[in-house]
Copies of this chain bind each other. A is one copy, B any other.
Amino acid sequence: MEAAWAAERAGRSIVHLEVGEPDFPTPVPVVEAATKAIADGRVRYTSSLGIPELREAISGYYAERFGIDVPARRVVVTTGASGALLLALAATVDRDDAVLLADPGYPCNRNLIRLCEGVPVGLPVGADTDYQLTAGLVADRWSERTRGVVLASPSNPTGTLVAPKELAAIATEVDQRGGVCFVDEIYGELVYDREPATVLASPGLLDDGTPFVINSFSKTFAMTGWRLGWMVCPDWALPAVQALAQNAFISPPAPAQYGGVAAFTPEVWAVVEERRRAFAARRDVLVQGLQASGFGVPVLPQGAFYVYARSDGLDADSMRLARRLLDEAGVAAVPGCDFGDHEPEAHLRFSYTTALDQITEGVRRLTAWRPSA
């Protein structure tokens, strides 16, 4: 990203397929609600678990969208999804506890486990399991030291999902072993060819209250810089999570919270739906273009806004390839080394967080480019 910006500042034309946040603006009703709260002086500390009206609104989201009853009591508003995962891990992971996650995966998740003195254990995953964990993999790698599993569906960087049945099977497997599931659903509303889903709708999982479900306003509502997320927290963990939230964050940002209340409205959902369609169209162009340019996309990504493409047909070293694509084709992408230890040199992550005409131009450049060596 730094290299892409530097090239642009130097006057070159760069197609940005490296950016990990939506290019859309925050929906107007959210902006208006936040602005009104600021004008009204509602910018003081809030309850550490979030303002009651936002917790209620999130509870209402689960009722309306998925037909499930998530009591507001169990909804913890956080400083972004990062804050949610940090609280969940700090409340449950003791020193040297192992936590399983998919490799490749979002790098911050591994590092937050380390911050809590736990040991992240990346399980190599590939196209055969849609780049996701399975109940079988979890069972195979479970040990005495294992405390839990972090799942992300859809995943960054792969854009792939865990099928609802498999997700429920993993959660049940973990539950039976006395472990904890952390399910990252921050891209859950950005899915294509299917309806949004939540692990909480799987039979038994909501009542047992075992998974921590992490979510965010950042991607769904294009609110990255506001720093607002949430977590559905098992009842047994609420006291620890609240104590940690008070100490580490005091409260989530107030302007973002008052804005967030306005996100769960039909007007904003219509905006989200429009953007979802735009993302789907971009994905199709990008995936086809990558395949035509010599990249491998063995599994069609069905969510988020990423394609994790096999690149070793073009260059055995994805870091070098990323640099060459930037320098020679004017296309920015992220090398696999950002996402784990499993074949990072053979993959690049491409994002579709830029306008369709930019993606079309990026694909044109990739197709025209040929390795010079």
Hey, which bits of chain A sit against chain B, CB under 8 A? 21, 25-26, 31, 34-35, 38-39, 41-46, 79-80, 82-83, 86, 90, 95, 107-108, 111-112, 115, 117, 223-227, 243-244, 246-256
CA distance A244 to B251 in the complex (A): 20
Is B44 a contact partner of A246 (Cβ separation < 8 A)? no
Is B43 a contact partner of A39 (Cβ separation < 8 A)? no
Rounded to whole Å, the gap between the CB of A120 and the closest CB of chain B is: 12
* Residue from the list B25, B41, B224, B250 in contact with A227, Cβ < 8 A: B250
Rounded to whole Å, the gap between the CB of A35 and the closest CB of chain B is: 6
> Can you list the 8 inter-chain pairs with the closest CB atoms, starting with the nearest?
A225-B254, A111-B247, A43-B225, A108-B247, A44-B225, A253-B253, A227-B253, A45-B224
CA distance A126 to B272 in the complex (A): 58
For this chain, the copies found in one complex come to 2
Chain A contact surface mostly: helix
Rounded to whole Å, the gap between the CB of A231 and the closest CB of chain B is: 15
CA distance A268 to B108 in the complex (A): 38
Rounded to whole Å, the gap between the CB of A85 and the closest CB of chain B is: 9
Question: Within 8 Å CB of A21, what residues of B?
Answer: 44-45
Question: Within 8 Å CB of A25, what residues of B?
Answer: 41, 43
11 pairs, CB–CB < 8 Å, chain A vs chain B: A42-B225, A43-B225, A44-B224, A45-B224, A82-B248, A95-B117, A112-B247, A225-B251, A225-B254, A227-B251, A253-B253
Is B244 a contact partner of A227 (Cβ separation < 8 A)? no
Closest to A225 in B: B254
Is A226 a contact partner of B255 (Cβ separation < 8 A)? yes
Question: Within 8 Å CB of A79, what residues of B?
Answer: 79, 227, 249, 253
Given contacts A31-B38, A45-B225, A253-B255, 7 further A-B contacts (CB under 8 A): A26-B43, A34-B38, A43-B223, A95-B95, A226-B253, A227-B250, A255-B255
Is B43 a contact partner of A244 (Cβ separation < 8 A)? no
Closest to A26 in B: B43
Rounded to whole Å, the gap between the CB of A275 and the closest CB of chain B is: 15
